[in-house]
Structure 1
Amino acid sequence: MKVKKYIVDSMPDALQKIRTELGKDAVIINTKEIRVGGFLGMFTKKKVEVVAATDSNPESAATARPAIAAARPATAAASSSLAGLSAPIMSPAPVAATRPATSVRPEPRPSFEAAAAATSPAPYAPAPAAPSGAKEDALLQEMKQMKEMMLRLAQAQTGTGAATAVEEALPPAFDAIRSRLVEQDVLSELAAKLVEDSILRLEEEGRPASELSAVEAGAAVKSAIVELLTKRPIEQIRQDARIVHFVGPTGVGKTTTIAKLAAEQTLKFRKSIGLITSDTYRIAAIEQLRTYASILNVPLEVVFSALDLQKALDRMQDRDMILMDTAGRNFRNEMAVSELQSLLRIEERKDTFLVLSLSMKYSDMKAVTDNFFRFGVEKVLFTKADETATLGSIVNLLHDFPLSLSYVTHGQNVPDDIHIADARNMADELVGEPHEE
């Protein structure tokens, strides 16, 4: 590791020196304002002290680049198997009219007491006596109450005995689907709930689950998954938004995703676009976005503070839309959170996307999402679908948080490898194609 300190007049001067002396892979470790010179504390000059570091072995970085380039054909091949998860957003053919999504009020997150009550065994209360004309309806309602009670009891129990009892109680076709969902990394409790809800709905319609084929069972569970994924409408970038923020942890592909969406807004919607980045911790990230900006012939501004951001926005007053990249930081760090919050505190029309990688563990994905809720994030964008064979984390996240699906990316190609999320295709991939025994 090679570390070097620079004392310069401004950050652009520092960036130029760092690029020249340490290379594009250098990382800025610390920056602060200092005063130098003068006499008896007077006539001092304000300078910026910047500490940067880079790998002392340049050969490792040089050999890494060909390896990455060689891996891209394999990535493109893998992405073809998952291309059906979404509908392409850029096509020369006219876009067919789609059925308008019904706006659904997001359900509030349950309190601790409500969650405890939901998992506690509830005493069974039979349905009240009904007139003779409604006896059949009352009987169905009573059966539904019994099934719900059994499900709550099973979820409240611990140990393999209770789990085995639930699995044995499921018809074989539905049990196979439950197992498939767990293999797709859907949380086991959620997988059981999706299957049980499907069975209850079918029996309310007078269709006993035990009499259904595997294909019919699969269709019922797929419908339950689609309903969960579309509880809030799937949304793109709002066309009336002027500033669009992209936030998320490091390494999820925010910069490449912004380039893809900038190309979409420029070529498809004919908008004049501006790019802003506050990711000054990675020199390579700035250069990557600068390259995309040059190709698209759009302006790029680099900002270091909220004050710089306002000046950059003033210089881009003629732009229809501004896409803003933010630094991927450790969002368990309160200082990093406060820095980002100052950059997102803008009064103009805005849209904010949380960017998450499908290659992340769900426990990490959930922790990141929980931290970003304070910024009013409403939309989630998933990247790297080509790097995983499971999609369960999408279902888990939308069950745990009131977020709207937006886009899914499945490769590095700009602008091709990004699509609007398709709930039906995701459900098909999660459940698979059931086959008759």
Structure 2
Amino acid sequence: MKPLRPFRRTLRAPLAGALLGASALLWGRQAAAEESAAEQLFREGRALLVEQRFAEACPKLEESQRLEPSLGTKLNLAFCHERLGQVATAWVGFQEALITARTAGDAAREAFAKARLDALSPRVPWLRVRASAGGAGADQVTILLDGAALDPVAWDKELPVDPGEHVVAAAHQGEVFWETTVALKESERVDVAVPAPAQAEAAPAPVPAEAAPGAASRPARRPAARPPAARLPRARLLPEAQRDGVRDETSVRAASPGIADRLVFEAGGFIGYLWMEADEIDVCSISGYGDCYYALSEGSFLAGATGFIGYTATERLDLGVRAHLGLHSSEGLLIALGPSVSYPLGDRFRVGSSLLFGTATQSGTAYTESYSWDENGYQYGGDMVEASVSLGFALGLGAELGMKLTDSPSGSLFLQATPLFLVGADGLAASLPLGVAYRWN
């Protein structure tokens, strides 16, 4: 049997190597399968985002992020939560993405996350849960927010929560003794005071159930819900607060943007067509003749600029002033400005309307007539003079129809039409300009 021992030793090394190789191969295949699953989920989630099926897109992106965390998936997931109206969850996601992008030196994604945070900050609801002092066993109270136990360090601090209904409950020694439902709207701040537990009663000695008088008539107290292992998105703290508990009120309020951060600017250029119509306008003061009239009834090419300055009242509504200034081929101009509202339709389109005040002018040739008497009798004469006429003070309406061409961290570029019409004492004017405009957010 001795000659077999060297043969066994020679088999051990190749066999061990084969087993290690097979294990590595299986592990590699499993890792590749997980990566491909994460990538597939990401592609499916992105496709659903494009189709605006956000309720279906978010779970796929969440699972993709769980399998293979990445900055791109985190940004898409935060964007998905924003479109679902879960502004607090989206805000937290963009906070995390901002820190990740800053650490990685990705300036473009950092700027994008910062822009979305600035836009979402005014919309986030905040909930403060105040715990009352006193009462028996107050130090043994557990406060639950939507079924998840709230860390005592977060008590009496403002927490970002998604709009909608939230359940706040309090339990003492494993039994819920108080519960309420709070409904929050965007931008709303709500305080909830949790009462202290009642004085604990002395525990009676255990007796058999059949010997306890009136046992059937005593209502059973409801046990406290077990907090889930995973943290609910609604109760998530800020990224900085994950290290230090939670921000205090001062730092939270300081993070909200001021008025200057909510200003909106837009500038653009256009070309189009201007049409003017009016009855005969007396231009005698210009020509110096007795009777001279000029009739407006023609169109001309128009080129100029448009602008908007406003204030983001809500995430979906900008209030401000729009202005139009254009020159046209009939040697005249168009001026109009007035209060305006602008509203996005989905992710790509924007509409708006304006109440406009302004005027339009035009230059051309006027025919003049003159009458006189002399020794030869009645005399009649006429001449052609150059004249510039105006509609006078005019009032009208304007519209804004925009389609987004591209996004950047600071704003968006739009293909834009801004039709308008003005009605004055001496006539009317209408224009149909088409151009591009950039809107800074």
What band does the TM-score fall into relative to the shorter chain? Answer: under 0.3
Between 1 and 2, higher relative CO (CA 8 Å, sep ≥ 6) is seen in 1
**In proportion to residue count, which structure has more strand?**
2
**In proportion to residue count, which structure has more helix?**
1
TM-score for both structures, normalised by structure 1 = 0.18
Q: Which has the larger radius of gyration?
A: 2
TM-score for both structures, normalised by structure 2 = 0.18
